[in-house]
Structure 1
Amino acid sequence: MGDAPWADHEYVRGWGVMGLPFDSGHVLALRVFPQGSFGPYRTLWHRDPMGSWSIYVDAEHVENACPRYYGPACDHVGAARINVEWTGPGSLHITMDDPAVDWTVTVARSPLMGLLNPLSAAMPLRSWRPHAMVRARELLARALGMGRLQMSGTMPSGHSGLLMPERMYFVNQSRAVLDGASLGSPMRMSENPSIGGVPLPARGVLAIGQAMWSITDPVEFDNARRVARRTYERKPQ
């Protein structure tokens, strides 16, 4: 557990596949956050071809992970065991128990991202406060083929959030099987997939960075932190 870099905010820090559309109409996403206001967690997101979202959570408290912000836009939220393994410098293997998911991801080495990533990582945290700077990052993401990605906005829960990637890598290969059925090949969509009005990338992207949300209810936040801290302190270190 930790404290957000900005006062009156809650946060997570880590990495994940921001979103990966498949030509079958399915969309997968992954979040791996070792640090955050409520402790570490992993989540796997799935959108079926009909547009129904599910978020599966590997954490002590499901309600304090991604469903805290995106749960109202989901048809299903639940606990699951999610295993994540790096099998090479840019290759990732993700499995989940129920529903059964077997998912491999390989990210590409891009000369352009090799130039942009160090510049992005070197930008000071205060550069995320001016709206013009956030907008410039969104326009750059659009130029890179991610579509109309929004890095700031209102979550389905009502929280005001800010996505702050420091480094990004394009997914160039992926294979996913859900309950024995292949999800097809990764693709770039003409329109961004979205969850509760929040757009995800139009193409597969793995990002490293953090996200912050304004605390909407300080009493609720303090209570949730207290419960999470007690659980964390009881776990063997």
Structure 2
Amino acid sequence: MLDSTVRTIPSEVTAMIDLASRLSGLPESRGQAPWPGHEYVKGWGVFGQPFDSGHVLALRVFPESSFGPYRTVWHRTPDGDWSIHVDGQGLDTSCPRYYGPACQHTGFARIQLAWTGPASLRVTMDSPSLDWTLTARSTPVLTVMNAVSSALPLATWRPRLLLRSRELMARALGLGSVQMAGVMPSGHTGTLMPERMYYIADARAVLDGVDLGRPVRLNRNPRIGEVPLPARGILAIGQAAWQIRDRAEYERTRAQSAHPDPKTDDPGPG
């Protein structure tokens, strides 16, 4: 196994939340990044969910981005091999654009989401077959932190000192050594800007018939390339922005994403 694990997640005082109402039916769009010279995504997802089997899952749901809406499921095997499965228009306009060079596989899949309760979600995928259920919870500390974070302007994500303070807060929340800004496997320099975060209290996943086990908090953060993911399951709402590396490529890709070829392009999230 790549990571030593803490077999149990400490019990915490929890507060009920209604994520289903907040996150269902978000409008889809191709938009502009909040900062000049950047491309972006906006939405929510599970930043990472480690299991005691050594597997790690992640979910990204971005109804809004520079290139259009998409969903992705990430999977890391106990041997450290990453895959990213995309339900969207293209691989070059979704997560593999930034993380693909660190993956052994990237490809298309059908990803379905169903809220089974106010904070309980079921994620299913066709190939590979995935049935993943999870429930998120808040705590008094997260409630206060989320209220403060959501009130702060986006400009506070640019100074390194303020980014570092958020990274230290994430460590205090049990997420380990996460980085809010850095260089992606693709070479893009990006900033992750979670506005609200919630713990994953319960999770179960079966991937191609294999039960991935119990959710755990890791002693060391799982990494995709050199980018660390949280050491425990966390659901986050927010956005991310990356500096445009090649203006001509960006404009060309953005133009193509505005007029997809129905004969060749995979349909978007279903």
TM-score range, shorter chain: over 0.9
Where 1:166 maps in the other structure, the secondary structure is strand
1:192 matched to which residue of 2?
221
Report the AA paired with residue 22 of structure 1: F
Mark the CA change 1:210 to 1:232 in structure 2 (over 3 Å): closer, same or farther. farther
Moved over 6 A (4+): 232-235
Report the AA paired with residue 106 of structure 1: T
Structure 1 unaligned residues grouped into runs of 5+ = none
2:252 matched to which residue of 1?
223
**Residue 179 (structure 1) shift:** 0.6
Superposed counterparts of 1:140-155, under 5 Å: 140-155=169-184
Distance in structure 2 (CA, Å) of the matches to 1:218 and 1:158: 14
Q: Which residue, 82, 90, 108 being the options, matches 1:53?
A: 82
Aligned residues with identical type, % of pairs: 59
Q: Which residue, 133, 147, 154 being the options, matches 1:118?
A: 147
Superposed counterparts of 1:61-100, under 5 Å: 61-100=90-129
Equivalent residues of 1:39, 1:232 under 8 A apart: no
Mark the CA change 1:232 to 1:200 in structure 2 (over 3 Å): closer, same or farther. farther
> TM-score with structure 2 length normalisation?
0.85
Does residue 36 in structure 1 map to residue 65 in structure 2? yes
Equivalent residues of 1:161, 1:212 under 8 A apart: yes
Number of aligned residue pairs: 236
Per-residue CA deviations over 1:211-230 (Å, capped at 9, x if unaligned) read 00000000000000010011
- RMSD, aligned α-carbons: 1.5
1:127 matched to which residue of 2?
156
> TM-score with structure 1 length normalisation?
0.97
**Residue 232 (structure 1) shift:** 9.0
Structure 2 unaligned residues grouped into runs of 5+ = 1-29
Per-residue CA deviations over 1:143-173 (Å, capped at 9, x if unaligned) read 1100000010000000000000000000010
Distance in structure 1 (CA, Å) of the matches to 2:43 and 2:76: 22
Does residue 208 in structure 1 map to residue 237 in structure 2? yes
Mark the CA change 1:232 to 1:106 in structure 2 (over 3 Å): closer, same or farther. farther
**Residue 109 (structure 1) shift:** 2.7
